[in-house]
Structure 1
Amino acid sequence: MTFDQNHSALHSEALELLRKLTGNPKAIFHEGQFEAIEALVAERRRALVIQRTGWGKSAVYFIAALLMRRRGAGPALIVSPLLALMRDQVEAASRAGVRAAMVNSSNVTEWEEIRSALEAGGLDVLLIGPERLNNPAFRTEWLPSIQARMGLLVIDEAHCISDWGHDFRPDYRRIRHLIAELPASVPVLATTATANQRVVQDVAEQLNVHGGGEQTPDFSQEVFILRGPLSRDSLRLGVLQLKHSSERVAWLVEHLGTLEGSGIIYALTVSAAEDTAAALREAGYEVLAYTGKTDPDERLEVESALKDNRVKALVATSALGMGFDKPDLGFVVHLGAPSSAVAYYQQVGRAGRGAINADVLLLPGSEDTEIWEYFATASMPTEENTTQLLNALAESTAAGQTLSVPALETRIDVRRSSIDLLLKVLAVEGAVERADRGWVSTGQPWVYDQARYDRVAATRQQEQQAMLDYEHTDVCRMVFLARELDDMSAQPCGQCDVCAGPWYSQTTSEQAAQIAQNNLKRVGVVIEPRGMWPTGLDRLNISENGKPVKGKIPPALRAEAGRSVARLSDLGWGNRLREVFITDAAGVAVDGPVPADLGRAAVKVLGEWDWPERPAAVISIPSPTRPQLADSLARGLGAVGKLKDLGSVQPVAPSEHFGGNSVFRCAGVFHFFEIPQEVEEFLRENPVSVLLVTDVVDSRWTFTVVARQLLQAGASTVLPFALASTH
């Protein structure tokens, strides 16, 4: 057949599959869809498709997968970042007659059945998370067989490959190695809705690596890039500036019911999501919280509740992001702004799909920039941390040992979350690798790329500024977002609040304000007592009476559940606490007596505390950064409660481990404090309940260790209290 005949035959075959996939006998391809399919199936190209959410990227790879199968190729492998996304894709594929399965941590019991179906040719599509590529068992037992018969490789949400992307994930970098090992005859498709030109270039370069040992056809030398317009006519955008968090929650209390359909309310922190959900439920709305703390099984139920319109909204963190698919989502509201306009576009893209119109409103917060800075700092590996980790692994590997993450915690003073991130980055770059029972050094030379991380940090700063600019722009908001994604074709939408004026109410009733105030002004966060010593204290020479300190902390030597006024990340009192816990221009903590309003809030917490035994005495833990604040809080509470003032516990040696991970923090305070002799004498004669006070609680190890010492000295119970908590 001629080229035109081949083209026409492939189009007819693909159109038949499209109509089966959509269930619409009159469906036709969107502009670019068939061209992408043709590039993959007829030309075996490597392709990058950047199209807005709802355009139909999944239709491209499902149809291409089936067409490749009809031509004798093996199943398609789809790398997808989220369980929610995989579940939706498997369901969509099954409805269209595509035999699809997923392999991830949620369905371990089904793996053998799936593997058997794969070996027998009974699957058209296999979906995996990127972390599978770093799993030793999967790499050795699954991947060789998959690679040998793979008909198509798909990388969904491909912006995750690029460290310039708003949601870079180290595990995604492994895909580059997988691509390089593929024969040139295996087509590769990367898809995303959120990529500016920098990300496009980075992803295209990674797609265009070859090393499968097969001659590369001329047509695949250049990546096929299909980039469509990213503006969304179905979204009506707006920004409402409200000064205080209570005003933002009050706006929702007043106006959530006026938003059409059901939707998502995004918050920047777990505590903000939980606080907002509580306020809205008190106002009578059916809402649920969805955060990183939500149990995996519960997440599925919560997602279903929104999809089935059994709730008005989910109040969610970014844990509900890529992959959540509800075609009739009616609105997206943000309490606080994401750190980039690109990330914002990705989240609001959940709404207004197909023929559905949706309202999108941003309620920025004064605390947004602080939260951005915290997450940016936490996600960036430092040279010091990386060097510590590499040295520890090199030493253990030379001794023929592997190190688990808990074992690494006892050797390097780095938080577990940072260790996990460092291991992913170093594994992708070949310096370490995962073994059956831990991690080992590969011995390959590795140099910390300071220039690269500086460039990424500078890019993040630019993105944050762009988000602030979006909040105050006089340009059509859809045009602004599209241009941030380097789509210069966007035209004014005519319906956002810049083009047509505010479409949302800018006022709230006194009743709504009162509900918000009552909820956010509630004080008192429980500080759960620790019940176990961290593993590895013996490696840091922590012992007592010649015996290692390990295992359970005896109940008789544990603190009771304590209290703080609020978390620093809370919407209500958290804002006030952040004003107190500030640093000056030189980074030095600003200190002073506890402000009167926070003192009253602390007294209220004590008044509502259902303690097992009322405290009769108070003792403080000196703060290394805000001694006046901690001391005045303890003395004030003692005076109000008419408690015996026991002064403060005394530091006896400089702490070697301030900050860092749990093991080092515990070790740093274990022998750091002593109970003054006069306090011990008092407690021996008067075994009373003691209120243990400090300014801020983070790891809880100081409270744990000092409470244990007080109980050993004779206290009947110990009640920890902090002005603020970090978690």
Structure 2
Amino acid sequence: MTSTTAPADTRAEALAALRELVGRDDAKFHDGQYEAISALVDGRRRALVVQRTGWGKSAVYFVATLLLRRRGDGPTVLVSPLLALMRDQIAAAERAGVRAVAINSTNPHEWADVQQRLADDEVDVLLVSPERLNNPSFREQQLPALVRRIGLLVVDEAHCISDWGHDFRPDYRRLRDLIAEIPAGVPVLATTATANSRVVADVAEQLGHGDDVLTIRGPLARTSLRLGVLRLPDAPTRLAWLLSHLGDLPGSGIIYTLTVSAANDTARLLRERGHDVRAYTGQTDPDEREESERLLKRNEVKALVATSALGMGFDKPDLGFVVHLGAPSSPVAYYQQVGRAGRSSESADVLLLPGPEDRAIWHYFATASMPDEERAQRVIAELSDVPLSTPALEARVDLRRTPLELLLKVLDVDGAVRRVQGGWVATGEPWVYDADRYARIAEAREAEQQHMIEYETTDGCRMEFLQRSLDDATAAPCGRCDTCAGAWYPTALAAGAADAAAGALDRVGVPIEPRRAWPTGADRLGVPVKGRLTPGEQAAEGRALARLTDLGWGGTLRELFAAGAPDGPVPPQVMAACVRVLADWGWDERPVAVASVPSRSRPQLVDSLARGLAEVGRLSYLGALALVDGGPTGAPGGNSAFRLAGVWNRFSADGLDVPAGPVLLVDDLADSRWTLTIAARALRQAGATAVLPFALALRG
């Protein structure tokens, strides 16, 4: 853009840019918008904008970018957390004549062109994910030049900077270091729609200037939203309500679930009953996610059934409804998601259908993201100044890939390790587990979870409750929610809906994929294998009754495997469901015998299941494999190499009259699948022509 002197009337210039951005000649600034723009352009300040979704936070940084570029400043660097959000932001920038480009994991083929355009000063806004800031090549080759030229730094969804939000994106905590590096006088803008006073103070501190940060907060109430909570007894009833009333909800919308399996199960049921919906999770193919976003924006689907992967920043101003099957863990998270609805319409329906399993799911995700001191010290001890890749490190420490990567990010932010070309190195800096900080985080999370329970049960205004939870001083009764105006949603179920939901949830049978390759690093743990398993020692594809996370049988299995649950014979209804799995299996050759994995934690459960299946199938029961040298030593939760080492050569088929035919191998819980793999290998070596693993439950 052409460099000129700053115009005398910043407001007039900014207003013209705003009208170009939104495509309306009569557009005016919302309260606080121009104040934020002026603080960035004229005052070169650091600002935090906390405003409800749809207020126009993106207008602030795009207009400010236009004005700063006209004054000769360098490009804006916009740190944005989600690919869907990046796509929307680039489209919005183009409407205003702002040249925006992104560098992220989906467009490596464009990186060279983006770098050249940056070098030629043909980019106004560069969008990057927080993780990109710690990519070695980006950090070492591109970031220094950007820091020297940067005209404005924008941190979107800035509540992720907070210690209490860092488990979503640990890399957000690194932004404080970036802010400290940028030249004096470069303005910084942080934006979010969800922040209480505690988060506001935390983010202001991370911005580096404490009390000097300009904070612009507006009322968070959304007059278009009609909130409600409908408490139903169980998952089948909640799904039956959706089957009965999804078509009555206005326009198109989002159905949020707490787990991936719940999203997939719900979407499948709704599609089978004629509803045009699609699942959207972190495991969905990126191209499919992008297509689903387009379909929803064009109202070509009734709903996306989504996890929190579809959350911050998704831009559909006319979204008609948001339904939650299960509650998020805090009012902050809930407001973030419901804020997607009713941004440009007079009315949108928001309904929460909480479930009894919500607390257990909250606890799982909260504890999974917390760094463990012993594990952290183990990781640091394995690193040196020679780079070690994540797979290689995984083979040395007993941690699975996902929690290991999260822990490495936390240690990186804390300065104990560093990501470089080729992997990770130790910095040599001392690292001390900050027990006090993590105790405060845990306490805050528990308090926010309790606030969510109170939201569900309050007899006061629900919007007012959310506002107060976000420390909004303008909190007042909305007059629209179910506690202000009475229940606006129907409670009756359509004929056949309950049976359809129950039938869908009663589905049984989940494939257990066989292990075909030995894990990297197993030889370092005393297991002399590499490469692929030979065909003669592999298990065939197996079956489990259900996943522990499933909406249907998952609930029954979670009770069966709960900590402290007593061992005992398999319940009759569970046995009957297992027989149905076998009846529907469709194996190439029927098994001729049954064997079981020896269990030290649930011997009665496994033995009764194996004997019962043998009796029903009129098969001989060979008994349990023998434990060798004390039996398996691996504990649940470790990584693949360690799990294999824990069961290697620990099972023997000696003493079993193994036939030359297929054998059904029975266990209680399939997790890493190495127990089933090694047990099947022993049976294959003893003469079984095939081994068909069967487990009550599949974890995850």
TM-score bracket, normalised by the shorter chain, equals over 0.9
Could you list the per-position Cα deviations for residues 293-328 of structure 1 after superposition, in whole angstroms to 9, with x for gaps in the alignment?
A: 101111111111111111100111111111211111
Contact in 2 for aligned 1:166/1:343 (Cα 8 Å): no
Name segments (4+ residues, structure 1) moved above 3 Å.
165-168
The code of the aligned residue for 1:558 comes to Q
Moved more, 496-505 or 644-653: 644-653
The code of the aligned residue for 1:32 comes to G
Question: Secondary structure at 2:472's aligned position in 1?
Answer: coil
| 5+ residue gaps, structure 1 | 1-5, 210-219, 544-548
Q: 1:166 to 1:571 in 2, by over 3 A?
A: farther
1:290 to 280, 292, 302: 280
The match for 1:226 is 216
2:652 to 659, 665, 674: 674
Q: How does 1:486-501 map to 2 (within 5 A)?
A: 486-501=471-486
The match for 1:716 is 689
Q: How does 1:30-41 map to 2 (within 5 A)?
A: 30-41=30-41
The match for 1:432 is 417
Q: 1:309 to 1:356 in 2, by over 3 A?
A: same
- Is 1:578 matched with 2:565? no
Q: How does 1:320-469 map to 2 (within 5 A)?
A: 320-394=310-384, 397=385, 401-469=386-454
Could you list the per-position Cα deviations for residues 540-589 of structure 1 after superposition, in whole angstroms to 9, with x for gaps in the alignment?
A: 0112xxxxx01111223211111111111111111111222222xxxx34
* 1:622 shift after superposition: 2.1
The code of the aligned residue for 1:413 comes to D
- Is 1:275 matched with 2:265? yes
Structure 2 CA distance for aligned equivalents of residues 18 and 81 of structure 1: 24
Question: Secondary structure at 1:678's aligned position in 2?
Answer: coil
The code of the aligned residue for 1:487 comes to D
Contact in 1 for aligned 2:148/2:183 (Cα 8 Å): no
- Is 1:159 matched with 2:149? no
Structure 2 CA distance for aligned equivalents of residues 207 and 128 of structure 1: 18
Structure 2 CA distance for aligned equivalents of residues 111 and 598 of structure 1: 54
Contact in 1 for aligned 2:66/2:98 (Cα 8 Å): yes
Question: Secondary structure at 2:694's aligned position in 1?
Answer: strand
* 1:691 shift after superposition: 0.6
The code of the aligned residue for 1:665 comes to R
- Is 1:520 matched with 2:505? yes
Q: How does 1:617-656 map to 2 (within 5 A)?
A: 617-654=593-630, 655-656=632-633
Q: How does 1:538-617 map to 2 (within 5 A)?
A: 538-543=523-528, 549-583=529-563, 588-617=564-593
The code of the aligned residue for 1:203 comes to V
Contact in 2 for aligned 1:328/1:356 (Cα 8 Å): no
Structure 1 CA distance for aligned equivalents of residues 471 and 280 of structure 2: 32
- Is 1:120 matched with 2:120? yes
The code of the aligned residue for 1:532 comes to A
Contact in 2 for aligned 1:602/1:723 (Cα 8 Å): yes
Question: Secondary structure at 2:9's aligned position in 1?
Answer: helix
Could you list the per-position Cα deviations for residues 318-374 of structure 1 after superposition, in whole angstroms to 9, with x for gaps in the alignment?
A: 111112111111100000111111101101111110234210000001111111111
TM-score, normalization by structure 2: 0.97
Moved more, 621-630 or 245-254: 621-630
Structure 1 CA distance for aligned equivalents of residues 91 and 222 of structure 2: 26
The match for 1:304 is 294
- Is 1:701 matched with 2:665? no
The code of the aligned residue for 1:648 comes to A
Question: Secondary structure at 1:117's aligned position in 2?
Answer: helix
Structure 2 CA distance for aligned equivalents of residues 169 and 104 of structure 1: 15
The code of the aligned residue for 1:367 comes to E
Structure 1 CA distance for aligned equivalents of residues 350 and 45 of structure 2: 37
CA RMSD of aligned residues (A): 1.3
The code of the aligned residue for 1:105 comes to S
TM-score, normalization by structure 1: 0.94
The code of the aligned residue for 1:409 comes to E
Q: 1:167 to 1:62 in 2, by over 3 A?
A: farther
Contact in 2 for aligned 1:155/1:191 (Cα 8 Å): yes
The match for 1:319 is 309
* 1:121 shift after superposition: 1.0
Question: Secondary structure at 1:510's aligned position in 2?
Answer: coil
Structure 1 CA distance for aligned equivalents of residues 7 and 598 of structure 2: 78
Contact in 2 for aligned 1:651/1:674 (Cα 8 Å): yes
Contact in 2 for aligned 1:476/1:493 (Cα 8 Å): yes
Q: How many residues align?
A: 693
Structure 1 CA distance for aligned equivalents of residues 269 and 57 of structure 2: 38
Contact in 2 for aligned 1:208/1:221 (Cα 8 Å): no
Structure 2 CA distance for aligned equivalents of residues 582 and 534 of structure 1: 29
Contact in 2 for aligned 1:330/1:356 (Cα 8 Å): no
Could you list the per-position Cα deviations for residues 618-668 of structure 1 after superposition, in whole angstroms to 9, with x for gaps in the alignment?
A: 111122322211111111111111111111012213434322111100111
Structure 2 CA distance for aligned equivalents of residues 141 and 651 of structure 1: 55
Structure 1 CA distance for aligned equivalents of residues 696 and 21 of structure 2: 57
Contact in 2 for aligned 1:618/1:634 (Cα 8 Å): yes
Contact in 2 for aligned 1:47/1:188 (Cα 8 Å): yes
- Is 1:507 matched with 2:492? yes
Q: 1:429 to 1:558 in 2, by over 3 A?
A: same
Question: Secondary structure at 1:453's aligned position in 2?
Answer: helix
Contact in 2 for aligned 1:431/1:441 (Cα 8 Å): yes
Structure 1 CA distance for aligned equivalents of residues 272 and 26 of structure 2: 47
Q: 1:612 to 1:462 in 2, by over 3 A?
A: same
Contact in 2 for aligned 1:104/1:129 (Cα 8 Å): yes
| 5+ residue gaps, structure 2 | 1-5
The code of the aligned residue for 1:721 comes to F
The code of the aligned residue for 1:652 comes to V
The code of the aligned residue for 2:688 comes to A
Question: Secondary structure at 2:107's aligned position in 1?
Answer: helix
The match for 1:217 is none
The code of the aligned residue for 2:339 comes to G
The code of the aligned residue for 2:642 comes to F
The code of the aligned residue for 1:102 comes to A
* 1:8 shift after superposition: 7.2
The match for 2:634 is 657
- Percent identity between the aligned chains? 62
Contact in 2 for aligned 1:589/1:625 (Cα 8 Å): no
